[in-house]
Amino acid sequence: MKLVFAGTPEVAVPALDALLASGRHEVAAVVTRPDAPAGRGRRLVASPVADRAEEAGIEVLKPAKPKDPEFLERLREIGPDCCPVVAYGALLPRVALDIPAHGWVNLHFSLLPAWRGAAPVQHAIMAGDEITGASTFLIEEGLDSGPVYGTVTEEIRATDTSGDLLTRLAFAGAGLLAATMDGIEDGTLKAVQQPADGISLAPKVNVEDAHLDWSAPALRVDRMVRGCTPAPGAWTTFRGERLKLIQVTPVPDRTDLAPGQIAAGKNNVYAGTGSYGVELLWVQAQGKKPMRAADWARGVRIGEGERLGG
């Protein structure tokens, strides 16, 4: 088939690579978000998908909005049979959805209908799920509600951050998306409507959502930290300044600390929760680089009875 691939961040690059390497389909163009300011100088930078497409000599389309007439006209001129999508980042209007004969097929990082929305991996970890995966589905105008072509499953490990898990799913999902394109082309794959039961939503996790509640159980604190790493970053406050927590681990036998109470030894730093303690392993103080929690604690000289979170 002739394909136009839509995607923007680094997590979409493995899927583009898989389609380029398949040898069975032609990736005629790539659609991605416009260049965005990045870094200290805030200079405009192309998306990872745009960079990869340019390396491969593929036409790159960067519409401000996918309903722009110039973009729609160019898409009609290309005449794709199907448009595979991975984390494109913009809502596709009906007029765009109708252009390819086989529609737009999205690779979504959950087992639909679980975790429909922008942050499925973060929510799966924060909810304590043991299994997740990726799904390919036909995009409709509803939120991740279209019929599903195929899935792959992935275990959520006890120490997984959302970054760890998303990286694994990006590569597993790349193979699924390529296989889905093959099945659509040869007619062996039919999309199946999602069940009405088991729907859960995964909206974007913002900075305020990542504010830790020390009255929550230790397992909840650990899941919040892992789910919000690397972005937006779980955080608390210490002496009125924000402190980001990068890695913690539950310590069931540490039951002597009140929620938020912090205790530092020579090589270990602990904080109390609503159940038992957690050990702080890596932290990032405001305006500082990430560091081992023990090094941070030595620098700030924690007093007896001091607390995280005010």
CATH of the domain at 285: 3.10.25.10
Domain annotation covers residue 170: yes
Domain annotation covers residue 307: no
Same domain, 212 and 98: no
Same domain, 145 and 281: no
Give the tens place of pLDDT for each residue, 162-172.
Answer: 999 999 999 99
Distance, CA of 219 to CA of 213 (rounded, Å): 12
Domain annotation covers residue 296: yes
Same domain, 153 and 36: yes
The partner residues of 153 in beta bridges, in order of sequence, read 133
Question: In the prediction, which pLDDT does 227 show?
Answer: 98
Picking from 308, 304, 259, the residue whose alpha carbon sits closest to that of residue 283 is 308
Same domain, 149 and 260: no
Domain annotation covers residue 95: yes
Distance, CA of 3 to CA of 249 (rounded, Å): 45
Distances in Å between the alpha carbon of 99 and those of 88, 105, 182, 201, 258?
17, 13, 20, 29, 60
Same domain, 23 and 109: yes
Helix (H, G, I), strand (E, B) or coil at 292: strand
Question: In the prediction, which pLDDT does 4 show?
Answer: 98
Binding residues, by number, are 110-113
Question: In the prediction, which pLDDT does 41 show?
Answer: 81
The partner residues of 247 in beta bridges, in order of sequence, read 282
Distance, CA of 194 to CA of 54 (rounded, Å): 36
- For residue 145, pLDDT beyond 90: yes
Binding residues for (6S)-5,6,7,8-tetrahydrofolate, by number, are 110-113
What backbone phi and psi angles, to 5 degrees, belong to 279? -95, 130
Distance, CA of 260 to CA of 272 (rounded, Å): 5
Q: Are 122 and 162 in contact (CB under 8 A)?
A: yes
Same domain, 219 and 260: yes
Question: In the prediction, which pLDDT does 39 show?
Answer: 79
Domain annotation covers residue 305: no
Same domain, 174 and 27: yes
List, in sequence order, the alpha helices (H) in the chain. Answer: 13-22, 48-55, 69-78, 94-97, 120-126, 162-186, 218-227, 293-300
Same domain, 178 and 274: no
Q: Give me the mean pLDDT over the 209-229 stretch.
A: 98
Domain annotation covers residue 193: no
Pick the last residue of a domain from 151, 186, 221. 186
Q: Give me the mean pLDDT over the 60-88 stretch.
A: 98
Domain annotation covers residue 163: yes
Same domain, 123 and 247: no
Domain annotation covers residue 201: no
Same domain, 8 and 72: yes
Q: Give me the mean pLDDT over the 98-111 stretch.
A: 98
Please indicate whether residue 170 or residue 303 has the higher confidence score (pLDDT): 170
Same domain, 103 and 56: yes
Distances in Å between the alpha carbon of 45 and those of 33, 231, 310?
11, 19, 39
Give the tens place of pLDDT for each residue, 175-193.
Answer: 999 999 999 999 999 999 9
**Exposed / middle / buried, residue 255 (Cβ in 10 Å: 0-12, 13-18, 19+):** exposed
Pick the last residue of a domain from 155, 186, 217. 186
What backbone phi and psi angles, to 5 degrees, belong to 137? -150, 160
Encode 234-277 in three state secondary structure: EEEEECCEEEEEEEEEEECCCCCCCECEEEECCCCEEEECCCCE
Same domain, 217 and 175: no
Question: In the prediction, which pLDDT does 8 show?
Answer: 98
Question: In the prediction, which pLDDT does 38 show?
Answer: 84
Question: In the prediction, which pLDDT does 310 show?
Answer: 72
Mean pLDDT over each residue of the chain, to the nearest integer: 97
Task: Kindly state the percentage of the chain with pLDDT values over 70.
Answer: 100
- For residue 28, pLDDT beyond 90: yes
- For residue 42, pLDDT beyond 90: no
Q: Give me the mean pLDDT over the 121-150 stretch.
A: 97
User: How many domains are contained in the chain?
Assistant: 2
Q: Which two tokens stand for residue 165?
A: 């898990």
Question: In the prediction, which pLDDT does 148 show?
Answer: 98
Pick the last residue of a domain from 153, 186, 219. 186
- For residue 10, pLDDT beyond 90: yes
Q: Which residues of 214-242 are buried (b: 16+ CB within 10 A; e: fewer)?
A: bebbbebbbbbbbbbbeebebbbbbeeee
Q: What is the CATH number of the domain that holds 174?
A: 3.40.50.170
Q: Which domain holds residue 14?
A: 2-186
Task: Kindly state the percentage of the chain with pLDDT values over 90.
Answer: 95
Distance, CA of 9 to CA of 178 (rounded, Å): 18
